[in-house]
Each structure stands twice: as C-alpha cells, then as structure tokens.
Amino acid sequence: MNRIDRLTGMILLLQSHRVITAEQIAAHYEMSVRTVYRDLAALGEAGVPIVAEAGVGYSLMRGYHIPPVMFTEHEAAALFMSGEVTEQVADDSLRGALRSALLKVRAVLPKERQDHLSKLKKSVGVWISSPLKEEEGRSLMPLQQALVQRRCVALCYNAGGRGEHTTRTVEPLGMMFYAREWHLIAYCRLRGDFRDFRLDRVVSWEVLPEVFSGHDDFSVKTFLASVLHEQEPTRVTIVFHPSVMDRVRREMMCPQVTEEPLPDGRVRVEMVAYSQDWLVGWLLSLGPQAQVLHPPEMRATMHEMAVKIAQAHA
C-alpha cells in the first residue's frame, strides 16, 4: 500500500471509530507506532482536524467526514464473498440487514463493476454442510442489541442438552460462531460466573429493560481459551485410510494435529481431543476408514457403539 492510500485509509479508520489509539492504528496497518505519528502529523498539516486526547487516543473533530470512497473491483468482490459466507451462518434478521447493506454498496458502484458482481454471483457460491438451524421466533438481532446496550437477558436454557430446563438472568458480553453453532458468552447470575451458552440449546430468551455495569476488562477470546485449557484434554492416536484424509483435514476440530504416513499408505494421526463424545460420533461416520489406536477406553467405546449400530440394523 502506498502512502497516499494509507493516509486516505487512516482518515476512514478514524472516521469509523469514536476514538482509536496509535497502537491500534499501527496494528491495523502492520507498521510501527512511530510511522503512525508521522502520518497523523502529515494529515494534520494537510488540514484534517485530528483531535488528540492524552492517555485516550485520536479522533476526528465532530462533524468532519469525507464522502464515501469508491470501491475497487477487488474490494467489491471481497464484500460479495463475505456476504455469501455470512448468509450461511446468520439468521433471518441478520440476513435482511446484510442484503440491505450490500444493496447500498452495489448502488454506488459504476455499471462495469455492477456487471462484474452479477457475473460473480452466477458463478460463485458458498455452501456449508451444517448451516445455522432455523427455529421459529429466533432472531440474533435482539441479542446483538442487548450486547451493545448492556441489557440483561432472561434465558430458558437446556443445560447440557439433557432436557433439564433452567431459567436464569444473564449479562451478555459476547457472541461467537464456532463449532458450527452460535454461542452467547455471558455472566450468569444463577451460577455467579461467566458461562458459554449454545444458542441451539436456548429454549427461549427475552431482552430485559435492566441495564448492567461492570466486566470492563472481560475478554471473550481469553475466556474461551481458558475454558478449553480447563477441560481435560486427551491424546488420541488414529489411523486413517488415505481416501478420507481430505475430509479429516477439513473437518477435524482438534488442536495439535500431526500426521505420519505409514508404509501401507494409511496415515497415522495424533491429536489432542477436548470432547471424546464428539470425536467418537464423528469417527463412526468414517466407518472402517478410521481405526483408533489410543487411548484404550476410546477403542472400547468405538467397539461398543459399532455393535449397537450393527444390532439396530440386524
């Protein structure tokens, strides 16, 4: 990126934040803080009204803005592809807002770039084998608004998917999409601790008028990392037939995966599993193309489940 493009982008970055630090700008552009200071000084000399607040960060003077920037062909295509992916993991409320936003983007594009997107839409698609499940009355938008407004939410939750419903009030702190499900990260007043709620196990929810405070230092990413570390990991060794290795690499959600080709063409894979139940169910879908070597108790579970499946189909 040349300096002119970077300076223009820096104005847009400032315009899109109420306040931003030099360190955050440096991280965004992958450059030194010293270079950020030089660029900010150059913008100031060019007449851009940048306000510096000691110990807080930088912002643009209220009321100052630059007109919308024309999207390049690559930028427009990237937005289109992002929209196609989001369609697969969003609910109807988010899809509607997304389509409206992309329509506005297309409206400011010149005709040749609109034609480019039309051709791209006909030729490119995104399909996820396990899309977000549609459930009547479910909408993610109210939860997003509760996060921003810091409003409490009443949940009726199917704990552990066992059919045991509990009613609780939570303070929502984050939403994450991982392991093919949306998760609400929140402080649970019933348990007096932070919890990870799978939204497919939420029977119903209601955003309450009550506003909560605190948790200013809470980090969703740090919390999720700590949850994984607290779980007892299991070292697993599995031998796979080469015909299923593409699927293994694509779908395996276990960390620290190592592969070792064997003389007979099969592949020995070692990994760390945090959920043996999930792994057993997934391995069974591979049939005889997967063989568990370690641990012994997992081999026994695989055998037991395979026998039950055979008996059910006898």
The 3 state secondary structure assigned to 10-72 is: HHHHHHCCCCECHHHHHHHHCCCHHHHHHHHHHHHHCCCCEEEECCCEEEECCCCCCCCCCCC
Distance (Å, whole) CA 207 – CA 59: 32
Average pLDDT along the chain: 83
For residues 104-132, give the mean pLDDT.
Answer: 69
Give how far the C-alpha of residue 215 lies from the chain's centroid of Cα atoms, to the nearest Å.
21
Q: Is the pTM of this model over 0.85?
A: no
Is residue 209 pLDDT above 80, yes or no? Answer: yes
pLDDT of 260 reads 94
pLDDT of 12 reads 81
pLDDT of 84 reads 76
Q: What SS3 class is residue 159?
A: strand
pLDDT tens digits, 280-301: 988 999 999 999 999 999 999 9
Under a CB-based contact definition with an 8 Å cutoff, are residues 173 and 235 in contact? Answer: no
